[in-house]
Homo-oligomer: A and B are copies of this chain.
Amino acid sequence: MAGSSFGVLFRVHTAGESHGPANVVIVDGVPAGLPLSEEDLRPDLARRRPGQSALVTQRDEADEPEILSGVFEGRTTGTPIAVLVRNRDSRSRDYEELREKYRPGHADFGFDARFGFRDHRGGGRSSARETVARVCAGAIARKLLASEGVRILGWVRQVGEIEARIENPASVTLEQVEASPVRCPDPEAAVRMVELIEAVRRDRDSIGGVAELVATGVPPGWGEPVFDKLKADLGKALFSLPAVLGVEYGAGFAAARSRGSENNDPFVRGRDGGIRTEGNRHGGMLGGISSGMPILLRCALKPTSSLPRPQRTVTRSGEATTVETRGRHDPCVLPRFVPMGEAMVAVVLADHWLRARASRL
C-alpha cells in the first residue's frame, strides 16, 4: 500500500500503467516562486524516451507533458504540481499471451501472487513506462536544486565487459555524455559499446551494464543521522528503478578490500579556506551526511529481461511453455537509464535540501 509515494518534504506521488490512458505525477512540497513550465520537463523526457536512437526500443511515444496545477503565471505557487503524460503508442494486442504466461526476469508472477491478477499489457504498473512520471518529478527537482548550485549528471560507465575510462567524474559535461547515443563520455569506449549493443541486438539478446552518477555543489550537512542517511535514501531511490541489482558509493565494493589507513580521506583546508577532503573514496557522504565533496555512485543493471527469442517459463497454472517478446525491445537499457537515475538522485537531494533547512533555529 502507498508504495507509489516518495520523499518527506519534496513529495512525489505517481500513478499509471504501461498501456492505460496516461501516467500522472503529483509533486507536493515545491516551494513557491520557482519559474517552471513544460519546457523544463521536455529535455529529460526526450532523453528517457523510447525511439530516441537506434540503440533503444522503438516504441513511439511523444511523451508530451501537461502541467495541470501548482504553476501560475510561470511560477510555482507552493501547491501540488500535477503533470499528465498520455500514453499514445499502446498496442495492447501484442501482449495477449502474457495474460497467462510469466516472463522470466519480470514481476508478473509476483503481481499475481500479491494481487490475484494483473494488468498484463506490457507489464502494467511494473513496466519501466512508469519512470516517465519520475523523470517529470526529477526535472522539477533538478530546477529547484539548480537555484542552489547543485548539478546532477549521469553516464554509462560500463556495458558488458567494456568499461569507460573516466579520470575525474566531477568534471564530465553533459555535452560529453550526449555526444554518443550510448551516453558514455569516453569516446573510444562509446564506440565499442555501440558496436556491442548492436551485436547483442542481432543476437536477439540483451546486455547489462553500469551507470555512474555524480552530484556536484551539494553543501555539507544534507542527510539525516540514522535511517534517512543520504546514502540510504539514494540507495532506496536507485534500487526502486527497474533492473538495478547493485549500488555503490565512492570506493564501493573495492573498499571491502582496503585498510582504514588507506581508505580514510583526510580533512584538509581547501584553497578557498573551506574544509574539504583529500580524495573522495567516501563518495561525498560521511555518516550518511554530505561532506561537501561530489556525491559519486554507480548502479549495476542486469540485462533487459524481455528478449525477442523463446525463453522457457510456465503458465499461471504451472504448465511449461515458452515466451518471446515481440516487436519493440531494448537490447541495453543503460542509455535510457541515465535520465531515470538522474531524476531519482535529484528527487532525493531536493528532499534533503528542504529537510536540512528545518534543522536549526
Tell which of B4, B291, B300 touches A26, judged by Cβ atoms closer than 8 Å: B4
Instruction: Say whether A105 faces chain B, with CB atoms less than 8 Å apart.
Output: yes
A 105-143 binary contact with B (CB < 8 Å = 1; else 0): 111111101111111000111100010000000000000
Contacts of A234 in B (CB 8 A): 239
- Contact call A256/B312, Cβ cutoff below 8 A: no
Contacts of A69 in B (CB 8 A): 15-17, 20-24, 125
Instruction: Say whether A170 faces chain B, with CB atoms less than 8 Å apart.
Output: no
In the complex, the chain B residue whose C-beta lies closest to that of A34 is B361
- Contact call A229/B221, Cβ cutoff below 8 A: no
- CA A278 to CA B102, docked complex, whole Å: 14
Instruction: Say whether A309 faces chain B, with CB atoms less than 8 Å apart.
Output: yes
Which chain A residues (234-258) contact chain B, with CB distance < 8 Å?
234-240, 242, 244-253, 255-258
Instruction: Say whether A72 faces chain B, with CB atoms less than 8 Å apart.
Output: yes
Please tell me the size bucket of the interface on A. Answer: 35 or more
Asked if A259 meets B111 with Cβ closer than 8 Å, knowing A4-B226, A77-B125, A246-B248, the reply is: no
- Contact call B354/A1, Cβ cutoff below 8 A: yes
Tell which of B105, B119, B304 touches A77, judged by Cβ atoms closer than 8 Å: B119
Which chain A residues (272-328) contact chain B, with CB distance < 8 Å?
273-275, 277-278, 282-283, 285-292, 300-307, 309, 311-314, 318-320
- CA A113 to CA B208, docked complex, whole Å: 39
A323 vs chain B, min Cβ distance (A): 9
In the complex, the chain B residue whose C-beta lies closest to that of A226 is B4
- Contact call B240/A288, Cβ cutoff below 8 A: yes
Instruction: Say whether A195 faces chain B, with CB atoms less than 8 Å apart.
Output: no
- CA A298 to CA B239, docked complex, whole Å: 14
- Contact call A221/B114, Cβ cutoff below 8 A: yes
- CA A282 to CA B102, docked complex, whole Å: 15
A 207-242 binary contact with B (CB < 8 Å = 1; else 0): 111100000000111111111110111111111101
Tell which of B20, B118, B260 touches A206, judged by Cβ atoms closer than 8 Å: B260
- Contact call B258/A208, Cβ cutoff below 8 A: yes
- Contact call A311/B117, Cβ cutoff below 8 A: no
- Contact call B303/A260, Cβ cutoff below 8 A: yes
A210 vs chain B, min Cβ distance (A): 5
Which chain A residues (168-214) contact chain B, with CB distance < 8 Å?
200, 203, 205-210
The 3 closest A-B pairs by CB, nearest first: A107-B287, A3-B224, A110-B289
Instruction: Provide a sorted-by-A list of 29 A–B residue pairs whose CB atoms are within 8 angstroms.
Output: A3-B225, A3-B229, A5-B227, A8-B8, A9-B9, A13-B80, A15-B82, A17-B69, A22-B82, A24-B68, A72-B119, A77-B117, A114-B356, A203-B259, A210-B253, A231-B244, A231-B245, A232-B236, A232-B240, A234-B239, A245-B283, A252-B300, A255-B303, A260-B302, A261-B307, A263-B302, A266-B312, A282-B302, A354-B358
